[in-house]
């Protein structure tokens, strides 16, 4: 009897597998995230959230299968934005928010922003600084809210008075003496403890601020703010906990220290010179430019009162430089990956970065691959970023041909994440 029962159950499972519903996407043009050219007339077979097969031509679906007609569109892997800040969005009152917003307020405010990001075609993001995103990441995983897959850094690491010191710009009574718990590092012991704290918090990676920043309330936006020994300790300890390190950096000296110390990526890299570019090629360091942020702060810095006065000169000086830097890095074969710094620029406008990167001198196919296959490499993720058998079914589509007109990347008409159609 037990044998018969087992036989029947096994048979039912086998039949269930045979009858499992599939989603079949008919792609008129396909950019797979790794190739340098488009493929035409392809069928993508999706089952249980994954791509289970790829076929030439337009495959017919069986009974119960869903067929999605994207014959007039260009189909791509879901895009990956490697530099976002989903817990905030720059505005003239942003510098006072910490004094009247509770962390719950910040979390609820982020809900529409994460959904806008997903609907803009970004199925995966790397959030580089914002403790609340650890919980938002978990809420998305649990299905409580809609949003992209999030790799969250949690609290970014800085030095005393540095770009990520949460008390910079406050009066002395409020400053206190923050340490590794708050993400402030002074010395290698602090570096080790700060990374371990991020692991304890549940971070997926570590972010450091290797130089000053444009939007911190401090005079210098480019000076080195970590010793090379401190960065090495951060990288070493992070590796022990299976985490990569992303380094915010504008100035050359800070960039070079971070590159030599082994960080995974340089963020912004505004003042990068050819020597630094060659060093990045030598070490295999990825470059995430975030042109969108430069364009935004340049525009807003021209409006009196939008930024504190200590920030305006930095924004006016650094904002216009990133495009030129990207063009130079591209010509020198630096590995460039896609990131926007959205949260400085508005959430949902992430796709503007595609156009900015082309304007900087990159070929459209290389820009698109920077947001798909290359971005997945930066994350160390082998199941996203490409359309091929075995990958997560993260798929987006735009009308027309982005290789001829990159601006249509802002006109997303189909979004699938993990096999679920959201748009």
pLDDT digits (tens, 9 = 90+) for 188-209: 999 999 999 999 999 999 999 9
Residue 225 domain flag: yes
Q: What is the pairing mode between strands 23-30 and 39-47?
A: antiparallel
Mean pLDDT in the chain? 89
* Burial profile 264-279: b = 16 or more Cβ within 10 angstroms, e = fewer: bbbbbbbbbeeebbeb
Residue 268 domain flag: yes
Q: Which residue has the tokens 């156009």?
A: 355
Q: Which residue has the tokens 């982005």?
A: 402
| Domain boundary, last residue among 350, 377, 404 | 350
- 73 plus 193 within the same structural domain: no
Among 20, 64, 69, which residue's Cα sits nearest to residue 44? 69
- 317 plus 181 within the same structural domain: yes
Q: Copy the structure tokens of residue 144.
A: 């409580």
pLDDT per residue over 21-43, tens digit each? 899 999 999 999 999 999 999 99
- The pLDDT score that the predictor gives to residue 18 is 44
CATH of the domain at 307: 3.20.20.140
Residue 360 domain flag: no
- 43 plus 94 within the same structural domain: no
* Host domain of residue 407: 2-77+387-421
Structurally, how many domains does the chain consist of? 2
- The pLDDT score that the predictor gives to residue 5 is 38
- 266 plus 120 within the same structural domain: yes
- The pLDDT score that the predictor gives to residue 175 is 66
Q: Copy the structure tokens of residue 185.
A: 């590092």
CA dihedral 105, 106, 110, 112 (to 10 degrees): 30
Q: What is the reported pTM?
A: 0.90
pLDDT per residue over 134-189, tens digit each? 999 999 999 999 999 999 999 999 998 778 776 666 667 776 777 787 889 999 99
| pLDDT at residue 128 is higher than 90 | yes
- 160 plus 87 within the same structural domain: yes
- 176 plus 213 within the same structural domain: yes
- 144 plus 189 within the same structural domain: yes
Residue 294 domain flag: yes
- The pLDDT score that the predictor gives to residue 374 is 98
- 58 plus 146 within the same structural domain: no
Cα separation, 246 vs 262, in Å, equals 10
| pLDDT at residue 386 is higher than 50 | yes
Percent of the chain with pLDDT over 90: 72
- 49 plus 91 within the same structural domain: no
Q: Which residue has the higher pLDDT, 167 or 286?
A: 286
Q: How many residues does the chain have?
A: 423
- 56 plus 96 within the same structural domain: no
To the nearest 10 degrees (0 to 180), the angle between helices 352-359 and 291-301 is: 90
- 338 plus 396 within the same structural domain: no
pLDDT per residue over 102-127, tens digit each? 889 889 999 999 999 999 999 999 99
């Amino acid at each position: 009897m037990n044998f018969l029962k087992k036989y029947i159950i096994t048979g039912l499972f086998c039949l269930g597998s045979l009858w499992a519903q599939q989603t079949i996407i008919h792609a008129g043009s396909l950019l797979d995230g790794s190739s340098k050219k488009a493929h035409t007339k392809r069928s993508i077979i999706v089952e249980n959230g994954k791509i289970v097969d790829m076929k030439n031509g337009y495959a017919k679906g069986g009974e119960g299968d869903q067929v999605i007609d994207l014959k007039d569109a260009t189909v791509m892997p879901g895009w990956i934005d490697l530099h976002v800040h989903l817990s905030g969005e720059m505005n003239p009152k942003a510098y006072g928010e910490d004094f009247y917003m509770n962390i719950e307020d910040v979390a609820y405010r982020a809900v529409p922003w994460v959904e806008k990001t997903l609907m803009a075609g970004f199925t995966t993001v790397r959030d580089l600084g914002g403790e609340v995103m650890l919980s938002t990441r978990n809420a998305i995983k649990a299905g409580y809210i809609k949003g992209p897959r999030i790799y969250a850094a949690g609290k970014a690491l800085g030095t005393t008075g540095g770009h990520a010191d949460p008390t910079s710009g406050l009066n002395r009574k409020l400053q206190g003496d923050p340490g590794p718990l708050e993400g402030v590092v002074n010395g290698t012991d602090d570096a080790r403890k700060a990374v371990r704290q991020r692991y304890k918090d549940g971070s997926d990676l570590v972010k450091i601020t290797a130089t000053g920043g444009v939007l911190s309330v401090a005079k210098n936006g480019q000076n080195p703010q970590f010793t090379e020994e401190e960065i090495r300790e951060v990288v070493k300890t992070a590796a022990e906990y299976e985490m990569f390190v992303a380094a915010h950096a504008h100035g050359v000296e800070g960039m070079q220290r971070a590159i030599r110390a082994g960080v995974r990526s340089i963020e912004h890299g505004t003042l990068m010179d050819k020597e630094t570019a060659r060093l990045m090629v030598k070490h295999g360091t990825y470059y995430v430019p975030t042109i969108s942020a430069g364009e935004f702060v340049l525009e807003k810095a021209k409006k009196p009162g939008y930024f504190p006065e200590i920030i305006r000169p930095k924004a006016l000086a650094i904002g216009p430089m990133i495009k030129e830097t990207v063009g130079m890095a591209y010509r020198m074969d630096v590995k460039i990956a896609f990131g926007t710094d959205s949260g400085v620029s508005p959430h949902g406008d992430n796709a503007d970065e595609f156009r900015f990167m082309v304007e900087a001198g990159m070929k459209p196919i290389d820009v698109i691959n920077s947001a798909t296959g290359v971005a997945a490499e930066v994350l160390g993720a082998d199941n996203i970023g490409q359309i091929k058998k075995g990958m997560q079914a993260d798929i987006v589509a735009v009308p027309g041909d982005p290789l001829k007109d990159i601006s249509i990347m802002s006109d997303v008409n189909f979004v699938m994440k993990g096999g679920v159609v959201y748009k």
